[in-house]
Structure 1
């Protein structure tokens, strides 16, 4: 009799699962409930009821059924996977992660568990761990579209836009016309500098999902960067109407209005954003910048100070903005966190923007200046200080027996490494690195780097320390026409007066080999006045006991 009962239970369960798999949830539920009544200790029936509840997005009900199933048969990976899904729906993300980790303890190469754990870790801001799990997922199952999508989004967030785009292409090959992947792909293309293609992809995502505010916000951003401001405004306004509490949509609308010259409208949009997300730095910084443009000094200063309260490291350069309001002293240099973030975010599109849009000529100017000033033209130990993506490397490589690159931005160092022209690359702050590298270099070149430093005393002293006798320091600057010191410009870059540069060079123990006017870049199609400077280290420092007054 007992054998007959077990066989009957197994048969009914098989029928119930078959009904579930062929899309007959009502029949599957009826049979599962029949099993629970007849055999309450049979875990399979509770598992099936949990799956049916999951399909209806009833996380709490599903978790109840699955908890019973796990209590009966605790070592089943499928049960813990389903429980993780149920807890995720309920918002119990930490507990969901525990169940996905339990699955991986039982089956280390379980693609779905890796993918879902990666997704949850991304939501928790643990991008490194999330990327690891998503990579495991696509290795275990190359056809896992969700894992490719999450991996692509994560890689884009950490600045690996080109690999992100490859992952997202794969996701879309597996699931064409998938709005989430199209949105992420568009963002990756934007970061790669492929703005026209990004707009096309995001338009496709909007066509499929017209009521998604986030996608419209991203499309507005791309159109703003392209310069199609009316289209950008249309999508940004639609995004704020679709989701009035979407902070990003209001920020983007403000940026579009700002680009159109409507500073008052921009400030109003940023004001909305700060009310929605008072703990987010970007809306406050944008509001501060808009108020400063309107001449609302006190309001701008208040917003800048709030940024500094939220972000003491000052990744947005609020301290520089505060100085530009005239309510605080000018910092002697830009904050490290600001410079690092600025160039980390800029890395993937740095070359195209700098060379094409800004007509950047720094490396070419340094090459010409060095050709006129250097006594040696090969076999030197050279440092490309603030190397960025390595734009100056082709100019410096022929001069070097050893060519080192140095940058504060990890993303820039990674791009420079791809060129294959450097013997060594260092991720460090310039002055700190020079101060621990005594008598190491014959030539230090710094193109468009010292524009983020006002007071030249520390950097020139550090450069002198790192240079051998008769070593050369060559750099570009922006020129302050009517200043005997330095000044902070509206774009948060410093400009220096020629007399000040000569005085500082003399104090630091350098001879001026060349100091002449030059245009290193354009801004808005207008030449930015600059200088190219070549200094030679003297064997003995002068007798000055203090730097010239600034």
Structure 2
């Protein structure tokens, strides 16, 4: 009889891997187990069993096999990559990250390891590191759809929706029918102000994955922004039915009810959201605003105070709301964190919203006032204070030898830089910035800035110190009626009395060159009473 041929370990492993790659897991598993019995010190069999367990979603079993394989043959990048995936499946984020880093120590340009590590770092809130790894991933492999998607989501989170949209568009070119990327792309488009396209993308994502509450919530948010409130409410109601423990869905439903004028229903939805997520600020702030609207001032004050406990820097302006309930004195100014966040979030749709929806006229009014007060003066050192995206730059540039821009919001400063009009741009708080600039400017213009300041004394004093002799401070304000100083309005903006501006100007060392009524913007289609002021620096002994 002919002797039975005994296949080598390498031959059996090759057959096993071929079966695995050909989509025959049962054959691959049988051969791998055969190898474990015949060659227990051969790591490849444990590696294959680990891959098979991963494919079945059995992360713990996969990790056991892969740990054995790594112990037998340490230093193999494929083993550490698979082990990272297994640990990630078991939500062991830190341990998984270590294995992906091990892969990168062996192969610094390994696209998949960079992509997986970026995804995990995002979960840990380490956004900058995550972005760096995702960029490495797409550089190493431009066809890595998952890395493009994660990078897009991260950039959206960081406040760069335009680049986010570009990344997500690339991800969808690689994987066109991908609900997660469609959802992320829709959010980025919304932040860019492309509401109709965002709605179409999110509707497509809902069609593919109708049981995903988050996508329906995002679609509802876009439809609300478009004014399609009935459709928005339908999506939000479906979202809360699909995920009754999702606070974001309840908040969105509350915002829609609020927009429809159903404040009691809005408060009820926000109340549900606070019960689900008691440590999140937004539900509490929305509840506070809604309770204030329906006259439940004690309840509103309690919610505002809770916001301040959760966020002492007050990035939502809860302190302003608390003052509006009558439970606290009116602050002298809006919190810096609130103004910064407000305009960071607003930056990408600022121009279209302000000029289009609100019919904003601040720069034009300042230009007219300055033309009347400056005579033929040109070649000035000009500061555009609170420059935002640079809407006032075109009317200030013809007056300027040098034009500086200043804003508290980094996102606004970035948008202003894109215009290419300013000689320099600065990210700082107005009063602090002016206090460091002694006798430097001929003109300081501030359109729609003083509405976030109640007491004007500090900023007028700082402006006077920063102006040269005969220098000009020009600004717009909202006008307070039946008030002798300033008051805080329901939209968390300050309004000032004309006599108050005259008194404060004189006190700070200015003469009033011009102070007249003007309408700088609309709110809900109604003109908001305002004023435009031009103050000229007086000469004083000792200046």
After TM superposition, is the score higher than 0.5?
yes
1:43 maps onto 2:28 in alignment: no
Aligned residue number for residue 299 of structure 1? 299
Unpaired segments ≥5 residues, structure 2: none
1:276 maps onto 2:276 in alignment: yes
Cα deviation for residue 5 of structure 1 reads: 11
SS in 2 for 1:535: strand
Cα deviation for residue 376 of structure 1 reads: 4.4
Residues 471-530 of structure 1 deviation map (CA, whole Å, 9 limit, x = unaligned): 100000000011110000000000000000000000000010000000000000000000
Preserved contact between residue 507 and residue 542 of structure 1 (Cα < 8 Å):
no
Aligned residue number for residue 387 of structure 2? 387
Bigger shift: 361-370 or 33-42?
33-42
Q: Distance in 2 between matches of 1:312 and 1:66?
A: 47
1:123 maps onto 2:123 in alignment: yes
Cα deviation for residue 6 of structure 1 reads: 11
1:11 maps onto 2:11 in alignment: yes
Aligned residue number for residue 371 of structure 1? 371
Aligned residue number for residue 396 of structure 2? 396
Q: Distance in 2 between matches of 1:51 and 1:116?
A: 16
1:430 maps onto 2:430 in alignment: yes
1:52 maps onto 2:41 in alignment: no
Preserved contact between residue 510 and residue 536 of structure 1 (Cα < 8 Å):
yes
Preserved contact between residue 509 and residue 541 of structure 1 (Cα < 8 Å):
no
Output aligned runs, 1:123-272, within 5 Å: 123-272=123-272
Question: RMSD value over aligned CA atoms?
Answer: 1.4
Q: Distance in 2 between matches of 1:33 and 1:383?
A: 75
SS in 2 for 1:205: helix
Preserved contact between residue 50 and residue 62 of structure 1 (Cα < 8 Å):
yes
Counterparts in 2 of 1:541 and 1:156: CA distance versus 1, 3 Å = farther
Q: Distance in 1 between matches of 2:358 and 2:8?
A: 77
Preserved contact between residue 134 and residue 151 of structure 1 (Cα < 8 Å):
yes
1:29 maps onto 2:29 in alignment: yes
Q: Distance in 2 between matches of 1:129 and 1:6?
A: 52
- TM-score (norm: length of structure 1): 0.97
Preserved contact between residue 448 and residue 477 of structure 1 (Cα < 8 Å):
yes
Residues 430-475 of structure 1 deviation map (CA, whole Å, 9 limit, x = unaligned): 0000001111111000000110000000000111111111110000
Q: Distance in 1 between matches of 2:216 and 2:531?
A: 43
Q: Distance in 1 between matches of 2:428 and 2:56?
A: 53
Aligned residue number for residue 453 of structure 1? 453
**Number of residue pairs the alignment of both structures matches:** 540
Cα deviation for residue 39 of structure 1 reads: 1.0
Residues 331-359 of structure 1 deviation map (CA, whole Å, 9 limit, x = unaligned): 00000000000000000000010010000
Counterparts in 2 of 1:5 and 1:86: CA distance versus 1, 3 Å = farther
- TM-score (norm: length of structure 2): 0.98
Preserved contact between residue 508 and residue 541 of structure 1 (Cα < 8 Å):
no
Unpaired segments ≥5 residues, structure 1: 544-550
